[in-house]
Copies of this chain bind each other. A is one copy, B any other.
Amino acid sequence: MSESASFSAEAYFATQPAPQLLAQEIAGVKEFVARQAAQNRNVVLVTSGGTTVPLELNVVRFLDNFSAGTRGATSAEYFLKAGYAVIFMHRQFSLQPFSRHYSHSTNPFLDFLALEGDGPGADTVGITAAKRADEDLLAVLTAYKRVQTAGTLHTLTFVTVDDYLWLLRAVSQELSVLRRRAMYYLAAAVSDFFLPRQKMSEHKIQSGKGSLHIEMDQVPKVLKPMVEEWTRDGYIVSFKLETDQRLLIPKARAALERYGHQVVIGNELHSRKVQVVFVERKRKPMTFVESWLRIAPAPSAAIHVKEIEEDIVAELLRRHEAWIGEA
């Protein structure tokens, strides 16, 4: 490990360019936060989906992190249902609350529609909903329209790990005016590595020259400045995803010790839809408290299964309430 391989957050923001539309996007966030504050709503920032690391300035190739955005999109729905306002900061094309139920492959949208009338010429008369009595769609649509009317969902989009880091800092700073009433639910799968602008090649890396060598630097650990500088007493929830279950608790504890935030939710790749562990640090006496949250695995790929995010969010609402009460 060379010295240059590790950027502090400060060095990172001093050397890497900000996304072009950042100021504009943050103006939108400021307005949203003020509106929610005026209505005495708690606000949660939900980050969701993976980040990319472009290997070229004219991007063709990039390193990516696996994440469809299920955890974030699903959780956002439950936060909204509980009356929170949500800033949903997600990877472009990752799942979103409500529309997540209808991907192009699962329940394709066009299959819900039929042409009105039958026989020749039917295609000229109009469109009608094919499954008028579809209860799932009705429930989703009702919740969606309620949120639209209430104006409690604000969506932001990122693609690269650079977009993500700049947005995270700026949104956190805006949200910090809410002090303890702000929650930060960091479910995005953020790359641990990045390629500094100065090391990128301008054009597409050419093949035909043997094997590909990539060397990347570490992404700065932003939880520390997030706790110490960007937020003020906000309730910060981070996630730890591992493929080796035995690493979950030691790594969650290490993160809490290093960054000093409120809770780490640990999950293992293959069991993450049925169990997670909440890891917290108690101050007096100095101990770690772990509590597992489990749901019964779905008997099949049926539609009406319990989603673990419902319980995760319920548990966090309880803890956030207590956190607000401690002030």
Contacts and interface: CB of A to CB of B under 8 A. Distances in A.
Given A129-B128, A210-B5, A211-B217, A60 B269 contact: yes
B56 A61 contact: no
A193 interface: yes
A293 to B, nearest CB: 22
A127 B123 contact: no
Interface stretch (A8-16, A103-111, A224-232, A317-325): A103-111
Interface string A166-210: 000000000000000000000001011100000000111001111
A113 interface: yes
B61 A64 contact: yes
Given A113-B129, A134-B127, A141-B115, A61 B63 contact: yes
Given A105-B93, A109-B102, A207 B218 contact: yes
Contact of A213 (B105, B131, B140, B214): B214
A145 B111 CA distance: 9
A128 B207 CA distance: 52
Contacts of A215: 211-214
Given A1-B209, A98-B110, A204-B269, 12 more contacts: A2-B211, A60-B241, A61-B191, A62-B66, A93-B105, A96-B104, A113-B129, A127-B129, A129-B129, A192-B212, A212-B215, A213-B213
B93 A242 contact: no
A40 interface: no
**Max count, chain B CB within 10 A of own CB: residue among A95, A208, A212:** A212
A59 interface: yes
A150 to B, nearest CB: 14
A216 B209 contact: no
A126 B133 CA distance: 6
Contacts of A110: 98-99, 102, 140-141, 144
A142 to B, nearest CB: 4
A114 to B, nearest CB: 8
Nearest to A3: B210
**Max count, chain B CB within 10 A of own CB: residue among A209, A210, A242:** A210
A183 to B, nearest CB: 24
B214 A212 contact: yes
A70 interface: no
Nearest to A110: B144
A193 B207 contact: yes
Interface string A52-96: 100010111111111010000000000000000000000011011
A58 B216 contact: no
A137 interface: yes
A132 interface: yes
A206 B189 CA distance: 14
Interface in A1-57: 1-2, 5-6, 52, 56
Contacts of A212: 192-193, 214-216, 218
A210 B58 contact: no
Contact of A210 (B123, B213, B218): B218
